[in-house]
Amino acid sequence: MSVDSATVRRIAHLSRIAIEDSEVERLRGELNAILAFVETLSEVDVDGVEPLTSALPMQMKKRADVVTDGGIADEILANAPSREDHYFVVPKVIE
């Protein structure tokens, strides 16, 4: 499989990365080189093979559903590029 320039633009938008028109061709070439490299996986017989979702078999740990943390709003906001009181500030979302 390979990607065309419309797909490159669609992927960039899904990734929320702005790209210039002048970048599309170069990105298309780079992405297609990687896709060609991974194409070899199509020759592997994976019938009946379970996908590996955890590197080692382990039980998901559980704990009591109680609050163990919190009350650190100042710390959470300490690195925000724009803030007001205890709020993150972003451009207007709803007109």
Partner 1 sequence: MSDPTHLSLAEARDALTSKQLSAVELAQAHIDAISKSRALNCFITETPEFALAQARESDARIARGDARPLEGLPLGIKDLYCSKGVRTTAGSRILDDFTPTYESTVSANLLRDGAAMLGKLNLDEFAMGSSNETSAFGPVVSPWRRAADPDAKIVPGGSSGGSSSAVAARLCLGATATDTGGSIRQPAAFTGTVGIKPTYGRCSRWGIVAFASSLDQAGPITRTVRDAAIMLRSMAGHDPKDTTSVDAPVPDYEAAVGASVKGRRIGVPKEYRIDGMSAEIAALWDKGAAWLKDAGAEIVEISLPHTRYALPTYYIIAPAEASSNLARYDGVRYGRREQGRDVSEMYEKTRAAGFGPEVRRRIMIGTYVLSAGYYDAYYVRAQKVRSLIKRDFDEAFASGVDAVLTPATPSTAFAQGEKGSADPVEMYLNDVFTVTVNMAGLPGVAVPGGLAANGLPLGLQLIGKAFDEETLFSLAAAIERAAPKIELPQPWWREG
| Cβ-defined contacts of 73-77 (< 8 Å, 24+) | none
Closest distance to partner 1 from the beta carbon of 80 (Å): 6
Site for partner 1 in 12-51 (CB under 8 A): 12-19, 27, 30-31, 33-35, 37-42, 44, 46, 49-51
Structure tokens at 73: 């709003």
For tokens 């100042």, name the residue: 74
Q: What distance in Å separates the CA atoms of residue 90 and residue 84, rounded to the nearest whole number?
A: 10
Q: How far is the CB of 70 from partner 1 (least distance, A)?
A: 14
The one among 21, 52, 66, 70 contacting partner 1 by CB under 8 A: 52
